[in-house]
Structure 1
Amino acid sequence: MPKQIHLAAHFPGVNNTTVWSDPEAGSQIDFASFERLARTAERGKFDFFFLAEGLRLRELKGKIYDLDVVGRPESLTVLSALAGVTTHLGLAATVNSTFNEPYEVARRLATLDHLSDGRAAWNVVTSWDAFTGENFRRGGYLAEADRYARAREFLATARELWDSWSPDALIGDADSGRFVTEGAGEFRHEGPQFSISGRFNVPRGPQGRPVILQAGDSPEGREFAASDADVIFSRHSTLEDGRAFYKDVKDRLGKYGRRPSDLKILPAVTYVLGDTGEEAQERALHIRRQQVSGQTALSFLEAIWGRDLSGYDPEGPLPDVEPDLGEGVSRGRAQFRGDRGAVVKQWRELAASRGYSIRDLAVEVTGRQTFVGTAATVADQLNEHVQTDACDGFIIAPHVTPGGIDAFVDQVVPLLQEKGVFRTEYSGTTLRDHLELS
């Protein structure tokens, strides 16, 4: 029997790849936009709906980075509202473990699990930069090993809180309906990161514990996922990279007493459909050019060069000045923590070999649509990735919201169902059911 494909829908926003200026784009804030995308995902029998989180407006040269989608409402609040207009769809939110406290997060997620009848999920993330930490009293900088140590203990503490209610902690009787048994919700945690005790005031949710997602790709992140996560939100979307990542992470599970099926690997992907392959490729290039304007391209390079490049023509050659390897002009952009000097050298070689302008280079290196072609071609490619162990499914990230997955649900999903690799109806009620997790 072929492997079953797992699908999730991402409502993007903490990025500059959402084409909010497209005539087909709707509000990034109105609840109606979240509701439409979620209802479409549920119509397509997706496993879950996913919201990212940004805790600070990013800046460029001391000014708000106006190319991002900003002003996004708090994720768990949105998902709590979506619980009332969906029935089966899982509801996943990113919640930061660096700037929150276990009791508060555990309580909010347990509440969502009750409101949704067992459909809550938590994408556990960390934050490395003091820039974001300036919004919080404690400050924000933690070394990578330290932030994963905090994240592990944070998650372990949250689980202690959820587990403090035993399955029989609520007992009904004819007179009062329900009463709490002695010791229900009682907890005590003593550790390097947290020292808390008391009584957890939200009973155990329908799933017992919310589903845990994790997105780290570093060795520490992979180990954290192997030991504690139910789903990895991966960035490895090519066959070769996906297979290597899949094998590496799945091979780590045994040491924690876990099976390969206990962890689902779902890369974030995009798609573009056309009546022909050529039409789809043309549409994909048009979308990429929408996503990377001249201003976007210059600001992207400035984050690497660490210099003001506003005097350069985005349709001209790459800057001839050397990068300033200090803090630079862009803050809060965590994707550039590596060797920026080496990146500049590599990009210059690429631009020289292909005759790229600044904008051409930005279009090339900031990613492209993962699956491009006819609906049949895209369905075949998705299935190949799953059946050859490059992943267990996909998180679909549309470039336009809220209608960005309509074509996928209407054209690609039926073909996957015909192949027998995707459900035609939900067979369970909780997100753990959908993901085939124990």
Structure 2
Amino acid sequence: MSRRQMHLAAHFPGVNNTTVWSEPESGSQIEFSSFAHMARTAERAKFDFMFLAEGLRLREQNGAIYDLDVVGRPDNATILAAVAAVTEKLGLAATISSTFNEPYEVARRLASIDHLSGGRAAWNVVTSWDKFTGENFRRGGYLAQGDRYLRATQFLDTVMTLLDSWRGDEIVADKATGEFLRDADAGRFDVHVDQFDIRGRFSVPRSPQGRPVVLQAGDSDEGREFAAASADAIFTRHGSLEAGQAFYADVKRRLAAYGRTEDQLKILPATTFALGDTQAEAEERGRQIRRQQVSGQTALRFLEQVWNRDLSHLDPDGPLPDIDPLVVDGDTPRVSQGRAADRMYRDPLATAREWRERAAANNLSIRDLMTEVTSRQSFVGTPSSVAEQMERFVEQRASDGFILVPHITPTGLDEFADKVVPILQERGSFRADYTGSTLRDHLGLAPLDARASV
């Protein structure tokens, strides 16, 4: 039986609590050797791309630097330009905000990486959402959700206009004379929309892909619509098979309104994994990893993000607090700055009620509950059973593949590459080797015609 081909990508962790810092093999998240190691592992396993998240400000909680994230990370585009030099086929995906950047700068960075890598660049478009982050930038402030997506849409369109301003044949050498023939309109752009009023000449000739692959991370209705209109892949957090199928169906049905087919947008949920020689061993290892990822301190930090109170006095192995969350308003600031709690839990009072009911029904402590509610999709089992679980998601239209988030940096992907990937290859659900050189090739996306895109 012919199997659907799975797409696999690697997420370099650090901007959340995924990484188990206490493990002896946990390494640096700033030194280039860490990025190079994970990239080489992903390429050895024939992954589509490596993905870097980004934080534009060090996050804070209760007035102090949030100590569950890596403190600082170099610029994504700079890292991936360096990774391009130590890899040959692996796609390179950078998260870049449309709120606190300008189209010309982003287009130039992406086109440069695409040139340096031979056509492997990808852009994860995000809409930075909070005033706290905005304080790091000249214009400060923040944009309401509708305005963020308006800016993101016009930002993306403007970047593509700049990239398309070079068709690819503007400068041609005349073999007879040795002179170069130049097109006077090469690189010219003129954009006048609500968010941008720019005109000039783009400085980077057309790159191997023409345009980078566009990723979108967002589960909101606005995020789904943005992805359906413009993205090549969407990064989601839906974990169960049923939730994944519902998300998959909802996003894919939106594509027709934009003249797109289902194969033009790949749906890739984030996932973790725990392997063992037996199912029991894998399950025990999975429990141990989750307990390390959600320590007592971490559990209280997560709870504070919803309760909007300092809860450091509570016992993480005890019950949820009797008091209700403080609702953020003009007089009540948020204890967590730069975190996404207000997007994920837009009604903290309703979330508190739901969590109390869940904790009471299952006799869960604060730490137990936070371990459950912060869990990503996890595949737990022997290498063979994990391969089968992943295939089930793809075959039953819950995803087109996965973005793997290992719990150890930078070696956490090695075990999956060595033990699970060969089984997927043997079963015919994942490539045995790259069949093209660009990221668009890896994702099965149609090549762009330079002349058709202008």
Q: Tell me, yes or no, whether TM beats 0.5.
A: yes
Number of the residue aligned with 2:451: none
The superposition leaves residues 240-286 of structure 1 with CA deviations (integer Å, 9 ceiling, x where unpaired) of 11111111111111111111111111111111001111111111111
Q: Determine which of 322, 338, 341 is the counterpart of 1:335.
A: 341
- Name the Cα RMSD after superposition: 1.2
Deviation of 1:368 (Å): 4.7
Q: Which range moves more in the overlay, 42-51 or 329-338?
A: 329-338
Aligned 8 A contact 1:171 1:181 in 2? no
Alignment length (residue pairs): 438
Number of the residue aligned with 1:70: 71
Q: Which range moves more in the overlay, 301-310 or 322-331?
A: 322-331
Q: Determine which of 302, 314, 317 is the counterpart of 1:315.
A: 317
SS at match of 1:370: strand
Aligned 8 A contact 2:240 2:377 in 1? no
Matched, 1:360 2:368: yes
Number of the residue aligned with 2:254: 252
Q: Determine which of 298, 301, 316 is the counterpart of 2:300.
A: 298
SS at match of 2:341: coil
Aligned 8 A contact 1:20 1:69 in 2? no
Deviation of 1:2 (Å): 2.0
Number of the residue aligned with 1:204: 206
**In 2: Cα distance, 1:305 partner to 1:430 partner:** 46
SS at match of 1:376: helix
Number of the residue aligned with 2:283: 281
**In 2: Cα distance, 1:368 partner to 1:429 partner:** 31
Deviation of 1:301 (Å): 0.9
User: Which structure 2 residues correspond to residues 95-174 of structure 1 after superposition, within 5 A?
Assistant: 95-174=96-175
Q: Which range moves more in the overlay, 116-125 or 160-169?
A: 160-169
The superposition leaves residues 63-111 of structure 1 with CA deviations (integer Å, 9 ceiling, x where unpaired) of 1011211211111100000000000000000000000000000000000
- Aligned identity (percent) is 64
Aligned 8 A contact 1:284 1:369 in 2? no
Deviation of 1:21 (Å): 2.4
Deviation of 1:176 (Å): 5.4
Aligned 8 A contact 2:394 2:400 in 1? yes
Number of the residue aligned with 2:440: 432
Number of the residue aligned with 1:41: 42
Aligned 8 A contact 2:270 2:377 in 1? no
**In 2: Cα distance, 1:356 partner to 1:270 partner:** 23
Number of the residue aligned with 1:57: 58
Number of the residue aligned with 2:11: 10
**In 1: Cα distance, 2:322 partner to 2:173 partner:** 75
Aligned 8 A contact 1:165 1:185 in 2? yes
Number of the residue aligned with 2:386: 378
Deviation of 1:369 (Å): 5.4
SS at match of 1:414: helix
SS at match of 1:148: helix
Q: Which range moves more in the overlay, 363-372 or 42-51?
A: 363-372
Structure 1 unaligned runs (5+)? none
Deviation of 1:322 (Å): 2.1
CA distance 1:140–1:177, shift in 2 (3 Å)? farther
Q: Which range moves more in the overlay, 126-135 or 112-121?
A: 126-135
Deviation of 1:177 (Å): 7.0
Amino acid across the alignment from 2:126 = V
Deviation of 1:179 (Å): 5.1
Aligned 8 A contact 1:426 1:434 in 2? yes
Amino acid across the alignment from 1:165 = W
Number of the residue aligned with 2:422: 414
Aligned 8 A contact 1:128 1:140 in 2? no
Aligned 8 A contact 1:8 1:395 in 2? yes
Aligned 8 A contact 2:115 2:207 in 1? yes
The superposition leaves residues 274-323 of structure 1 with CA deviations (integer Å, 9 ceiling, x where unpaired) of 11111111111111111111111111111111111111111222112222
The superposition leaves residues 156-193 of structure 1 with CA deviations (integer Å, 9 ceiling, x where unpaired) of 00000000001211212346575532110000000000
Q: TM-score, normalised by structure 1?
A: 0.98
Structure 2 unaligned runs (5+)? 447-454
The 4+ residue runs of structure 1 with deviation greater than 2 A are 173-180
Q: TM-score, normalised by structure 2?
A: 0.94
Aligned 8 A contact 2:305 2:341 in 1? no
